[in-house]
Amino acid sequence: MLPISSSISPDDVLSGCLLLVDKPQNWTSFDVVNKIKNLVRKKFNLKKFKVGHSGTLDPMATGLLLICTGSWTKELHQLQKLDKQYMGEVTLGVETNSYDAEGEIKFTKDVPSLSEIDLLNCIKSFIGEIEQTPPAFSAIKKDGKPLYQLARAGKEVLPDPRKVTVHDIQLIDHDLPKINLLVHSGSGFYVRSLAHDIGHVLGCGAHLSALRRTAVGQYSIEDAFSMDEIVKAFS
């Protein structure tokens, strides 16, 4: 486990460190990387500076993003395979082409009367080692191009299913058509695909309407800095 920065010191960021960042909604992971990179370049009058991240978060999502700076970018490989933990909100009865709230609606359907037992039986079927098909709108590459580029160009995209591990899924609460889940998964798992597949099993369609990553391995969102705090440290 790499040691994390307990405070934001521009000098430490320059020499190399691991920063835990609470990614804001509507920022891409690359937006966070570029912002930190530009802060360092401006502060120390540099032309180039290395910043990298592990575990991309979609723009809609918030939460824990692991950022390595300077000489520590070579340690990113240590972070790639860590387990993840998410809080996700799934909205039943509406399916989108991206499997989340940012996509186009494919169809809407009445949500059946579902008991808590119905919901628990459904989500429990996804625990363990399962085959999951990633969303067409994802950064996974096929023929050298990210799938989302092909999907946005109107081309038919059929991602290959792959084995992923789900350690646990808990039903936190439900007020249909919305259900809230706590998901503990291995790397490479898409909560968007989980939401889509839950809708398929329940027969009414579904999409992921909110997502927050709360942990990566032993790293917790409780130790993360906001982007405002990072910007302030460099002012």
Domain range annotation of the chain: 10-80+220-233, 84-216
CA 66 to chain centroid, in Å, comes to 11
Distance from C-alpha of 209 to C-alpha of 211, rounded to nearest angstrom:
7
pLDDT at 135: 86
- What does the pLDDT average to over 23-37? 96
Rg over CA atoms, the chain = 19
**Which amino acid would we find at residue 25?**
Q
| The pairing of beta strand 105-108 with beta strand 162-175 | unpaired
pLDDT at 3: 85
pLDDT at 142: 58
pLDDT digit string, tens, across residues 102-137: 889 999 999 999 999 999 999 999 999 999 998 876
- What does the pLDDT average to over 22-34? 96
pLDDT digit string, tens, across residues 59-88: 899 999 999 999 999 999 999 999 999 999
Model confidence band, residue 138 (pLDDT cutoffs 50, 70, 90)? low
pLDDT at 144: 56
Distance from C-alpha of 200 to C-alpha of 207, rounded to nearest angstrom:
10
- Global confidence as pTM: 0.92
The three-state secondary structure class of 223 is helix
pLDDT at 2: 82
Domains 10-80+220-233 and 84-216 share a fold: yes
| Arch. (CATH architecture) of 84-216 | 2-Layer Sandwich (3.30)
pLDDT at 151: 46
Q: Which of 143 and 96 is assigned the larger pLDDT?
A: 96
Q: Domain 10-80+220-233 has what CATH class?
A: alpha beta
pLDDT at 160: 80
pLDDT at 203: 97
Catalytic option among 22, 31, 58, 100: 58
Q: What are phi and psi of 105, to 5 degrees?
A: -70, 125
Portion of the chain with pLDDT greater than 70, in percent: 91
Mean pLDDT for all residues in the chain:
91
Instruction: State yes or no: is 58 an active-site residue.
Output: yes
